[in-house]
Amino acid sequence: MKKQWIALIVAIVAIFVALVAWLFYNLEEQKIVNKEMAELAELDKQEMENEYERFTLQYSEMMTQINNDSLVAQLTQEQMRTQQLLEELKNVKATNAREITRLKKELATVREVLRSYIRQVDSLNQVNETLRNENSQIRNELAASNREIEGLATEKASLSEKVAIAAQLDATGITMTPLNKRNKAAKKMKDCKQIQVSFTIAKNVTASNGNRTLYVRIQTPNGDVLNGGVFDYENRQIEYSMKKTIEYGGEETTVTTYWNVNEFLGAGEYRVSIFADGNMIGSRTFTFK
């Protein structure tokens, strides 16, 4: 009796340790994703700051190219407004989505205004070689700013890709069962009247919730696809056998689909592939007699 109690306590402790390890793993995974998203927001803010600074430099450059006092006064006013917006942006936290969105809209307006002045200055055609030499320092600073923006854009794209990969669904436990006319597992493919494909969409705390359309593709031993229609995949259309729309809420979800056989199916290897959101999320090969 004492040994039974000891065994029970050991089992309970093992289950508790496994549960703690699982919770710790999920917590660490969420921390990594949150950190990457925070870094992405900070990069977006830094990219905006550099673009505001670049526009300020461009106003300085244009003012050295003209001798029209009225136009210089207008450019000075717009430059001051751009600098003011830059200071506002520097004092805003990257996580303040409302202010970042407002300043991003302001940035688009500044960009359009700057373009209109560039067209005006170009139409005056008063730039000479002396002024170009005087502007060399500003041009160098502008080039450095552009290089920094390009570097930030590359880093931002890399982080965006990591976040997208983390949010991708994953199909596990894929099974393919040939059913006979009594809806029982058929021993041979020649007796198959219906194919059942089941799988599980794994839990994913980073994936967005909502309706997801899943495509199941069955390839026969001779390479043909049991065709139920076509869908877009990697800039082309490919055949699928079954599709099903589910409500995904981030938790583990079991999915079952069926294919009604209306043709002869021979023995050999059958490949089942699962697709969602333009990605192949799972694949497995089965051999039947």
| pLDDT value, residue 256 | 95
Does the residue 271 lie in any domain? yes
- 179 plus 253 within the same structural domain: yes
| pLDDT value, residue 50 | 86
Q: How confident is the model at residue 52 (pLDDT cuts 50, 70, 90)?
A: confident
Percent of the chain with pLDDT over 70: 74
Give the number of domains in the chain.
Answer: 2
- 39 plus 99 within the same structural domain: yes
pLDDT single digits (tens) 151-201: 666 665 655 555 555 568 889 999 999 999 899 999 899 999 999 999 999
Strand partners, 215: 243, 275
Residue-range definition of the domain harbouring residue 175: 171-288
220-256 CB burial, b ≥16 within 10 A, e <16: beeeebbebeeeebeeeeebbbbeeeeebeeeebebe
Q: How confident is the model at residue 232 (pLDDT cuts 50, 70, 90)?
A: very high
Does the residue 62 lie in any domain? yes
* Model pTM score: 0.50
| Residues ≥6 apart with Cβ < 8 Å to 167 | 204, 206, 207, 208
Q: Over the Cα atoms of the chain, what is R_g?
A: 31
Within 10 angstroms of residue 268's Cβ, the number of other Cβ atoms is 13
End of a domain among 134, 166, 198? 166
| pLDDT value, residue 215 | 96
Does the residue 10 lie in any domain? no
Q: Which residue has the higher pLDDT, 88 or 35?
A: 88
- 146 plus 51 within the same structural domain: yes
SS (H, E, C) 57-83: HHHHHHHCCCCCHHHHHHHHHHHHHHH
Does the residue 3 lie in any domain? no
